[in-house]
Amino acid sequence: MIKLYQHAGPKSFEVFRAAVFGLWFLNLVLTPLDTLAQLPPGIYNPIGIPFKFFHGLSLVMLNPAFLVFFKWSTTAIVFLAATGIFQRSSSLIGSVLITLEQALLRGFGNINHGELPLLYAAYVITVALFLIPKSKAPNPYQIPFVLFLMIFLFTYTLIGLHRIAFGGLEVFTTERITYWIAANTYDVSYYRFGWGQKVLESPLLNYLFVIGFPVITVFEILAPLALIYPLFRALFLLVIYPFHLMNFIFMDLLFLESMLLLILLFDISRWLEPKRLDSPSVIFYDGVCGLCDRFVQWMLKWDTSVVFAFAPLQGQTASAIPGFRPRNPSESTIIFYDAEHQKHYERSAAVVRILIGLGGLWRIAGVFLWLVPLPLRDLGYRWVAANRYRWFGKFEVCRLPTAQHVSRFLP
Amino acid sequence: MTRVISNKQLFGWVTALWVTALIPALTVRYVQWENVKAAFLEGSLILVAVLIYLGIRSVRMFVRQLPFAWLIFLAIFFPASIFSQVAEINEVVFPLTSWYMYAVTNKTQTLDFQEYQGLTASGQRVDLNPLRYFPLLQRSMLTFEMIYLGKAFKPKEEMPVSPSETAKSFKKRIAQKIRVFLADHPPVEQEERKRRLKQFFEVILHRYNQIHTSDPLRAVEIIQGTVDLDTLPRPLVTRQMVARYEVNSDGGLT
């Protein structure tokens, strides 16, 4: 079997979904879609079979008020899809709407092929959201990752094969790549770096491009092998990233989405899935504090992999651990006890460890929080801790866990 | 119990789906009078590549063990992708497309390009990069469209003959209509091209003057350039103004 993503689970799939729809969310926010209404309809060419047959439909959509409505309603739905709210319906409707948005943009000549794999990723995720709950496959979460990468990497193969079928060997034996560098240098482009001119004027750089061209083509054709062989995967990334960068610098062509999607070749599931230990780590919490109680309820909801156990700071488990003494009990709302290394973390360090332990998107949030200097995040922690009873209330006695979660609580 | 398809079934289905996609794709190319031989070669290379990848045990096992619903997804996506790749009718098949890059072997060693410049009220010459004024089209082939429209200013004998002028019989006219429907860039008459380009420059003019209110444009020029690649590493570049529009009193172009 394919080893890539064999440990994928709900957490890594959640990150995949959030990243793909999150990128679409950013794309939509940054796209001034309303300016399409200013372009002359004469240069608009309908894209996609529905618009080809019903040209009037696309012209209605090019109305300025409709474009503003369309942009922000699509953005809102894609935001829901990225955050996992009504995830099946928001992903399905979101995928349809971004397809329509892309069709409108392409009607004015926009032909960013980099956006298409991102669109396919949205389709695969949407299909997976419907199929995974019913799946009887040994690891249903591996399928969307591998299937998407197969489709994405095969697009490179198609590029390479098309070049051979239509260009023949002539495309490599003559200096055709020089022609393309010149075309991209002199044509109107958004970036206009002008670095292609340097290649045209330097015989050495030109020569490097000419000999690099067939090498790139070989890697393009063999791209799907990156799914299977780790050594080829490393080589492929070492070749294809500089190729995309050179396209950007010397040809003014940016394939940003493709470059971001190639990150998927680093099996992110290995890092994102929570690690279950024989003896779970313990979160000690202030049993009478309203904030801590809510935090524990929140943890029970998100810790679906059952990585953590819970115990009140005032209980027997806390007093039984040797050397376990909070530095400042009045500030101790939660303390994280790492059972594997027998170490405990207080204040914001505990929050960071807990978030990282949860895996998925929370792990990424934990890493971002960890990047904040400790004194600064501890300052925020202390402020909340000092006001916790006033803001969130105080119980007279520790609340008892419900029957459903009783096994996760220690005395 | 998950149903697992056999190797024989897998290779049989892949070949059948390939045939199902390739025949209509080649028909489309034939109708468009395009390079059917190269398209057939491309289709064959795709099949060979797919069969080689499926020859790798881990890939084959992965596909064979896919749940039925995912196999249906692949059975739609795979032939649709092959059809899109070979037929090369990107505007019709969207959101699929034909994937190609740096594949055309242009025989000529001269390269045509266009530049768009404006003259402001104070007499300054400014670069009018349309993609800067419409950033949402920044990674666009809009420039290709503009170059196509701009070629309308070339002498008549250099213009490609409009297919509608050559299509005489009823049968040919029907074939022509299909061709125009399928074509990514349906051919446009010379005068219509000029009109569209002028419309586009009026929009750019409007955008430019919105931003630069103190020194608005009074004229817009289309510069046709040529690069002689035989003169590398010191490329010989020639530029010639082919059209000039003056801003009229209504704020439009004349």
What percentage of chain A reaches a pLDDT higher than 90? 42
pLDDT greater than 90 at residue A86: yes
Contacts of A251 in chain B (CB under 8 A): none
Q: Which residues of B99-119 are buried (b: 16+ CB within 10 A; e: fewer)?
A: bbbbbebeeebebbbbbbbbb
Within an 8 Å CB–CB cutoff, is residue A193 touching chain B? no
Q: Band of the pLDDT at A85, cuts 50, 70, 90?
A: very high
Instruction: Give the mutation candidate from B1, B94, B131 for the A interface (greatest A CB count, under 10 A).
Output: B94
Interface contact flag, A190 B131, Cβ < 8 Å: yes
pLDDT band at A327 (very low <50, low <70, confident <90, very high): low
Mean pLDDT of all residues in A282-294: 81
Please tell me which residue, A28 or A329, carries the higher pLDDT value: A28
Looking at beta carbons, which residues of chain A come within 8 Å of B41? Answer: 165
DSSP annotation of B160: P
| Residues A90/A81, Cβ–Cβ less than 8 Å | yes
- Mutation target for A interface from B51, B60, B136: give the one with most A CBs within 10 A: B136
Per-residue pLDDT of chain B (254 residues; tens, 9 = 90+): 567 889 999 999 999 999 999 999 999 988 877 789 999 999 999 999 999 999 999 999 999 999 999 999 999 999 999 999 999 888 889 999 999 988 876 667 788 888 889 999 998 999 888 888 877 766 555 566 666 666 666 655 454 555 555 556 666 777 777 777 776 666 667 777 778 788 888 888 888 888 888 999 999 998 888 888 888 888 888 898 888 899 888 878 88
Name every residue whose Cβ is closer than 8 Å to that of residue A262 and which is 6 or more positions away in sequence. Answer: A237, A240, A241
Mean pLDDT of A295-307: 83
Q: How far is CA B21 from the centre of its chain?
A: 22
Sheet holding B236-246, edge to edge: B125-127, B110-120, B217-228, B236-246
Contact B129 A190 (CB under 8 A): yes
How much is the pTM? Answer: 0.86
How far apart CA A72 and CA A21 sit, in angstroms, is 15
- Say what angle helices A347-358 and A290-302 make with each other, to 10 degrees: 20
More reliable by pLDDT, B86 or A56: B86
Q: What percent of chain A has pLDDT over 70?
A: 95
Mapped to the 3 state alphabet, what secondary structure does chain A carry?
Answer: CCCCCCCCCHHHHHHHHHHHHHHHHHHHHHCCHHHHHHCCHHHCCCCCHHHHHCHHHHHHHCCHHHHHHHHHHHHHHHHHHHHCCCHHHHHHHHHHHHHHHHHHHHCCCECCCCHHHHHHHHHHHHHHHHHHHHCCCCCCCHHHHHHHHHHHHHHHHHHHHHHHHHHCCHHHHCCHHHHHHHHHHHCCCCCCCCCHHHHHHCHHHHHHHHHHHHHHHHHHHHHHHHHCCHHHHHHHHHHHHHHHHHHHHHHCCCCHHHHHHHHHHCCCHHHHCCCCCCCCEEEEECCCEHHHHHHHHHHHHHCCCCCEEEEECCCHHHHHCCCCCCCCHHHCCEEEEECCCCEEECHHHHHHHHHHHHCHHHHHHHHHHHHCCHHHHHHHHHHHHHCHHHHHCECCCCCCCCCCCHHHECC
The 3 state secondary structure assigned to B20-44 is HHHHHHHHHHHHCCCCHHHHHHHHH
CB contact under 8 A, A116 and B113: no
Q: How far is residue B26 CA from its own chain's centroid?
A: 19
B129 and B207 Cβ atoms separated by less than 8 Å: no
Tokens (6 digits) for A134: 């019913």
- B143 CB neighbours in chain A (<8 A) are 187-189
Contact (CB, 8 A) for A14 and A361: yes
A vs B: CB pairs below 8 A: 231
B128 touches chain A (CB under 8 A): no
Most confident of A19-23, A113-117, A163-167, B212-216: A19-23
User: Looking at A37-46, A245-254, B232-241, which range is the least confident one?
Assistant: A37-46
Predicted local distance difference test score (pLDDT) of residue B103: 84
- Chain A positions touching B111 (Cβ under 8 A) are 179, 182-183, 186
Q: What is the rounded distance in angstroms from the CA atom of residue A108 to the CA atom of residue A98?
A: 16
Angstrom distance (rounded) from CA A186 to CA B55 = 45
Give pLDDT, residue B157: 45
Compute the distance between CA of residue A294 and CA of residue A391 in angstroms, rounded to an integer.
12
Distances (CA, A) of A189 to A227, A309, B113, B126, B247: 34, 57, 12, 16, 25
Whether the CB of A168 is below 8 Å from some CB of chain B: the reply is: yes
Can you tell me the distance from the alpha carbon of A136 to that of B237, in angstroms, rounded to the nearest whole number? 65
- Find the residue in B nearest to A112 (Cα): B139
**pLDDT, tens digit, 9 for 90 and up, residues A200-239:** 889 899 889 989 999 999 999 999 999 999 999 999 999 9
Kindly state the DSSP code that residue B247 receives in the 8-state scheme: B
Instruction: Say yes or no for a CB contact (<8 Å) between A31 and B136.
Output: yes
* ipTM score: 0.85
State the smallest CA–CA distance between residue A276 and chain B in angstroms.
27
User: B60: burial class by Cβ within 10 Å (0-12, 13-18, 19+)?
Assistant: middle
pLDDT at A278: 65
**Mean pLDDT over residues A325-334, rounded?**
70
- The model's confidence at residue A364, banded by pLDDT at 50, 70 and 90, is very high
pLDDT score of A153: 97
B-contacting residues in A 215-234 (Cβ below 8 Å): 221, 224-225, 227-228
* A130 within 8 A of A95, measured Cβ to Cβ: no
Q: Is pLDDT at A391 greater than 80 in this prediction?
A: yes
| Mean pLDDT value of segment A32-44 | 83
Residue recorded with tokens 């709950």: A133
Q: Which residues pair with B223 in a beta bridge?
A: B115, B241
- Written as six digits, the tokens of A245 are 């960068």
- Answer whether B235 sits within 8 Å of A48, measured CB to CB: no
Q: Pick the range with the lowest mean pLDDT from A159-168, A261-270, B107-116.
A: B107-116
User: Between chains, do B232 and A178 touch, taking CB under 8 Å as contact?
Assistant: yes
Best-predicted range by mean pLDDT (A11-20, A280-289, B100-109): A11-20
User: Using CB atoms within 10 A of its CB, is residue A250 exposed (0-12), middle (13-18) or buried (19+)?
Assistant: buried
- 8 A C-beta contact, residue A286 and residue A341: no
Site from A123, A179, A229 to mutate, B interface, most B CB atoms within 10 angstroms: A179
CA-based nearest residue to B84, from A150, A46, A155: A155
| Helix pair angle (A115-131, A10-30), 10° resolution | 140
Higher pLDDT, A105 or A151: A151
